[in-house]
Amino acid sequence: MPICPQCREEYEDKVTQCFDCGVSLVASLDDIPSTGEGPGKVVFSAQSEEELEGMEACLKQWQIPYTLASDEPNVDIEGLGLVVPPPYGDKAAEKLLAHVKAAQKGGGCASSGCGSGTPPAEGPELLKQSLGALARKGEAVMDDLIELIVNGDAAVQRRSALALSYMGRKGIQAIVKLMKVALEKEQIETVTVLLAVLRQTEYVIEEWQEFLPYLRHDVAVRTKALEVIGHLGDLDAFDRVLPLLSDAEPAVRDEADNTLCLLSDEDMGFESDAPQEEQARCIELWKEWWGRHSRR
């Protein structure tokens, strides 16, 4: 499994960068140079002096030890940051998460329980650095991450969903439920973010049927629901998607064809802007293909 050369955290095969340290992963421990740095250190980066001061105030309030990244010779990050020793990584992530949630709501550090009037660090950048530790805490912070997905911007949503994805099947199922909620509210950008995270996982998700009702919604929702079904679905979804090749909207027809290609691993050359006769010919080819394979 890929491993971080700084904090020694292991990740799934498709991950290339450590969420804690922001550095590229290596293939094995043999590829990690000897730096003298203890394993498990967590690095939290800051984008400004003000942000760094807010992070320091939060950690001081909770008596979490830290050092400045600039004082750590073996920690290489761009800009400013703090380094937390191994035993305190999860606690620091938890308290800084409260700090982030206060920032999302426009509150100060005092409102997040830090006990200081120092302005909180900016949510997306701080959260980005703490997800590795958050993911290791499992279900204890699942509700917090769901709240951040519901209320956060795209950067926060993506990083929070990534943390959920590393919590196993329960985390993945939470992402799927959030996608349904977002589709119901026509929050297309949120669905796009969550689907991108799901595409990085290797779990087999069987809930594609739950997205079928959204094929009767407006254009944007129909199109996005097709994209979700194309990723989550199997060949059983084929005949539910096939009628949408005749949809009145070109975008829906395009996505329906893309979905059929994904489900079947075939391509009939359908183009939504082609003459109607050509579209009809391709639809017949799809119907013939389904007629041969639906009996298997």
Mark whether 98 and 144 lie in a shared domain. no
Strands (E), the chain: 42-46, 67-68, 80-84
Ordered DSSP codes for 216-235? GS-HHHHHHHHHHHHHH--G
How many whole angstroms separate alpha carbon 8 and alpha carbon 155? 25
Q: What is the pTM of this model?
A: 0.58
153 occurs within a structural domain: yes
Q: Is residue 210 one of the residues assigned to a domain?
A: no
292 C-beta neighbours (distance < 10 Å), count: 9
Residues 91 and 167 in one domain: no
Place of tokens 């589709």: 183
Answer yes or no: do 86 and 193 share one domain.
no
Out of 78-87, 91-100, 114-123, least confident range: 114-123
Reported as a pLDDT band with limits 50, 70 and 90, residue 206 is confident
Whether residues 9 and 130 share a domain: the answer is yes
229 with 117, same domain: the answer is no
Residue 154 lies in a domain: yes
Residue scoring higher pLDDT (104 or 179): 179
67/121 same-domain check:
yes
With DSSP H G I counted as helix, E B as strand and the rest as coil, what are the percentages for the chain, rounded to 5? 60, 5, 35
Among candidates 10, 57, 13, 56, which has minimal Cα distance to 32?
10
Considering the domain boundaries, does residue 150 fall inside one?
yes
Residue 113 in any domain: the answer is yes
Query: Average pLDDT, stretch 179-188?
Result: 93
Looking at the fold, whether 78 and 128 belong to one and the same domain comes out as yes
Q: Please indicate, yes or no, if residue 151 is contained in any of the structural domains.
A: yes
> Does position 162 have pLDDT exceeding 60, yes or no?
yes
User: What does the block give as tokens for 52?
Assistant: 């760094």
pLDDT at 124: 43
Q: What is the pLDDT of residue 283?
A: 95
Final residue of a structural domain among 116, 135, 154: 135
* Counted domains in the chain: 3
**Cα 282 to Cα 284: distance, rounded to the nearest angstrom:** 5
Choosing from 107, 135, 163, the residue where a domain stops is 135
Q: Is there a single domain that holds both residue 18 and residue 112?
A: yes
Tell whether 15 and 81 lie within a shared domain.
yes
- CB neighbour list of residue 277: distance below 8 Å, 6 or more residues apart: none
Whether residue 83 is found in the same domain as residue 187: no
> Mind listing the pLDDT tens digit for each residue in 9-55?
677 776 776 665 556 777 765 554 433 334 457 777 776 787 788 88
Domain interval for residue 248: 215-296
Report yes or no: 6 and 39 within 8 Å, Cβ to Cβ: no
Identify the pLDDT of residue 40. 57
Q: Are residues 224 and 162 in the same domain?
A: no
How far is 244 from 18, CA to CA, in rounded Å? Answer: 41
What percent of the chain has a predicted confidence (pLDDT) above 70?
74
Say if 82 falls within a structural domain: yes
Q: Does the pLDDT at position 112 exceed 50?
A: no
Residue 248 has pLDDT above 50, yes or no: yes
Same-domain pairing of 47 and 29 = yes
Looking at residue 121, its pLDDT comes to 39
Angle at 96 between CA 92 and CA 99, to 5 degrees: 155
Average pLDDT over residues 203-225: 89
Q: Provide the pLDDT for residue 158.
A: 84
User: Token pair of 209, please?
Assistant: 């049927």
Q: Which residues contact 236 (CB under 8 A, 6 or more apart)?
A: none
Cβ proximity of 7 and 21 under 8 Å: yes
Residue with tokens 């600039």: 70
User: Going by C-beta distance under 8 Å and a sequence separation of 6 or more, which residues neighbour residue 72?
Assistant: 37, 83
Distance of CA 156 to the CA centre of its chain: 9
